[in-house]
A and B are shown apart, each in its own frame.
Chain A
Amino acid sequence: MSTHTSAELPGLGQAAFVAVSIQLLSAAFLYLILKAEGGWQVIGLLALLGAGFYLIEKRPQIADVVTASFSRVPVVALITAVAVVLLFPFAVGNNTYVLHLLIVAQLYAVLALALNFQLGSANIPNFATGASYGIGAYVSALLAINFGLSFWLTLPAAAIAATLFGFLIGIPSMRTRDTYLALVTIAFGVVVQQLLNNFTWTGGPNGLVGIPAPSLFGHSFASPLVVFGWKLPSQANFYYLSALLVVVAIITAHRLHSSRIGLAWNALRADEIAARAQGINVAWFKVLAFAVDAFLAAFAGTIYAFYVSYISPDNFTFLVSVTIMTMVIVGGMDNIFGVIVGAFLLTILPEKLRAFSDYRLLFFGIVIIAFLMIRPQGLFPQRIRSYGESR
């Protein structure tokens, strides 16, 4: 792989051009699909996306050139990415629906990245990510409503609570595996959701209402954001907050992937017995994967609770966990970028299928099944680990 890319290393200018234009094109595509209304526009854009992937499938050197360009000019690529993320709300303007979709997509991206530690890196099934997400949301909301704690204090509290829950689910994972482990996580998820649905202090099926909006340096997140005379709707606050969380999640994921922990998880995925024979503490790394997943999911849950200011047990069902799982599989397991794309696609797609009104769930199910049959390795398949300087 390394010799292959170095042989046709693109020049600096060319690399910068490719990196910037690819990012701008992706942003433009995202903008178009978010703005698209009506079935035909959506189908057309999806067909375009499919054609793009078909092209990459047929001509793998395109993907090679793109990755080589990005690693040639990392700073340029990074600046473009930051600029795109920062400026996107300005392009969207006053369309709060589009901003809402973006926020939810980003939160799901965090959840999918969280699950990716387990499903992608270590191949441990976990159907309780939705429950960790819910625990994060409920703990922070309860603290804010009952004790008047600020958003910034509830964030770590929720994360700690969910991490403890993650350790708790992790314990049976030391003994069970595969389908049996999947059922244990499903059971945990159902228990949490049912308890939230039945306790009186969690508001029962009605959930919690009136979660106060967070504020930063005296600026309430419920009020519009004014930047250099530009007035952005209040959702923009949460857009930037969740974007920040996505960045934190990406950095965490990247650091963990290149650390000994990530390596240990990959070893677990490849062969558990071999990993054990190499002296890897299998049980500990499994439990750790659950804890990290719950930790990140709690952050997403907290932001969600404060953003919509109303949560109910219906937001954290078994199907939510399955959706997160689907995002990881569709995007490509153990591929950070792929997982994010999967999360965006699967958040936006059902919304856009509203054009088919009542039939959208049916379409969604069929699309998922068809996708798993046609491209089981995901949109962006796992990359082979590269070691040393050849990255």
Chain B
Amino acid sequence: MAELFVQQLVNWVTLGCIYALLAIGFSLIFGVLNVIHFSHGDVAMTSPFIALAAAQALAIAIGVSGPVWLTVATCIAVFAVGLIGVILDKVVIRRFRDAPAMMALVATVALGIVIRELIRHLYPQGSNPHAFPRLASGVALEIAGVQVGWFTLLVVSLTLVLVVLLFAFLRLTPLGLRIRAASEDRIVARMMGIRDTRVFRATFFVASAIGAIAGLLFASYAGVTRFDFGVMAGLLGFSAAVIGGLGSMPGAILGGLIIAGIEVLAQTFVPDGASYRLVFVFLLVIGVLLFRPEGLLGRPVMVKV
């Protein structure tokens, strides 16, 4: 029993960190632009494909391969996805900033379709699942007879580092200050001489790059990647961000852990729980929003006349 418990605890932490990283992107973009970027999941899930392509390109061009070069390829992917985010913002999402919320939602859902189809057509045999290597392998330590892999440690430490870096970035750097100012009140921020185009560019780069890391970890965790993984990644990440409270970073992390927790619990304790896991996840979402309509850590919005 203890073994099972620890094993599921490990699974929960791994999955929870990945979801939290996805949710951070949603929350960050919503906080600054007030727009739901529904295709964020799809943007994030392009990163495994870009990494695979980059690894192959490196192998062909310079004739190198191996773990070190795989790391280089993933770094290229993270940077590239960050740029994709910036481009999407410039071309599409920025135009829906002041539109009704539903407009932006529908537009970004359509954008998600476009991204998925582009992966499918541009990547060789994009319709098929592609194996994705573990970014770290081997057993790191043993707790109560359960082997904890390096991969889990990688996910946890990477998430911690990213969260600390993000907090430092938002709190300590001038750009972070501008991002926070713009998310507080865009118009006043403009009056204070903050160029919001730059703020948006930075926000999208950071959010998409963090999403890309989540996408890489997810593909690595699943061992496989497919062009339509982005739909579920997007839905779960969005749910995590919303139940945590949109615009709140600690909320996004909490939401990610909760969503992963209910998923792991359903799979472990409910008979046939693996196929019902989404039912449990979304029932929980409904339940949370029923009692905390603004999310767990969200600020209640006071509507004034």
- Give chain A's interface residues, CB within 8 Å of chain B: 119, 123, 125, 171-172, 175-180, 182-184, 186-188, 190-191, 194-195, 197-198, 272-274, 318-319, 322, 325-326, 329, 358-359, 361-362, 364-366, 368-369, 372-373, 376
Contacts and interface: CB of A to CB of B under 8 A. Distances in A.
Interface string B86-103: 000000100110011111
Contacts of B59: none
B125 interface: no
A190 B282 contact: yes
B289 A178 contact: no
3 closest A-B pairs by CB: A365-B113, A365-B114, A187-B282
B279 A195 contact: yes
B242 A180 contact: yes
Nearest to A193: B278
B76 to A, nearest CB: 25
B286 A184 contact: yes
B114 A366 contact: yes
Chain B contact residues (Cβ within 8 angstroms of A): what range?
A: 35 or more
Contacts of B101: 125, 178-179, 182
7 contacts: A172-B286, A175-B293, A182-B36, A184-B286, A272-B303, A366-B114, A369-B92
B117 A329 contact: no
Nearest to A185: B286
Looking at A183, A188, A318, A325, the one whose CB has the most chain B CB atoms below 10 A away is A183
A93 B289 CA distance: 52
B127 to A, nearest CB: 9
B131 interface: no
Given A184-B289, A365-B111, A365-B113, A372 B96 contact: yes
A373 B286 contact: no
B190 interface: no
Contacts of B99: 372, 376
B106 A183 contact: no
Nearest to B245: A180
Contacts of A190: 235, 278, 282
Nearest to B284: A187
A273 B114 contact: no
Given A184-B285, A187-B286, A369 B107 contact: yes
